[in-house]
Amino acid sequence: MSAASAKLGGMTAEIPADYVRLLEEPFYGSLGTIRPDVTVQVSPMWYLFDAETQTLRFTHTTTRAKYRNLMQNPSMSLAVFDPENPFRYLEVRGRLIGVEPDPAGDFYVVLGKRYGNPDQAPPPDSADRVILTMSIEHTVHQ
């Protein structure tokens, strides 16, 4: 397998081939955003890697702090640790490049199934759900 790369806004991020698995498997990620007071907020997140567009997608609501953080500052970072070796990780850095309404919670259901719940139902807060799309502009790994 060759290294994956993302080309957005003239920037290219190389994802080493032996780290792509960390984005393809249903591992939890730690998503960081920047609060209005410029401190960092980090939360565990489900995600879906799109190899074709070299983006990550998340589900969230418009009523929470993380969404407000991204509306003020679109910078974001996701770290995924290898469950077989927690000293091995991949961090992808980028920015919010898309927000798509998901009022039926369909993408939440997709992610719930990806993360092991075959009977996943839409959440009670579906009316406020959106799909957040993140560019991948820089990577760090160990």
Long-range CB contacts (within 8 A, 24+) of 1-8: 4/51, 4/54, 5/54, 6/54, 6/55, 6/94, 6/135, 6/136, 6/137, 7/54, 8/54, 8/94, 8/97, 8/135, 8/136, 8/137
- Model-level pTM? 0.90
pLDDT in tens, 110-130: 999 999 999 999 999 999 999
Beta strands 29-34 and 75-82 are antiparallel
- pLDDT for 60 equals 97
- The model's confidence at residue 13, banded by pLDDT at 50, 70 and 90, is confident
The SS3 assignment for 18 reads helix
More confident of the two residues 68 and 3: 68
Measure the CA–CA gap between 33 and 56, rounded to whole angstroms: 14
The SS3 assignment for 67 reads helix
Q: What is the overall mean pLDDT for the chain?
A: 92
- pLDDT for 5 equals 45
Tokens 């080493």 -> residue = 16
More confident of the two residues 58 and 10: 58
Q: Delineate the domains of the chain, giving CATH numbers in brackets.
A: 4-141 (2.30.110.10)
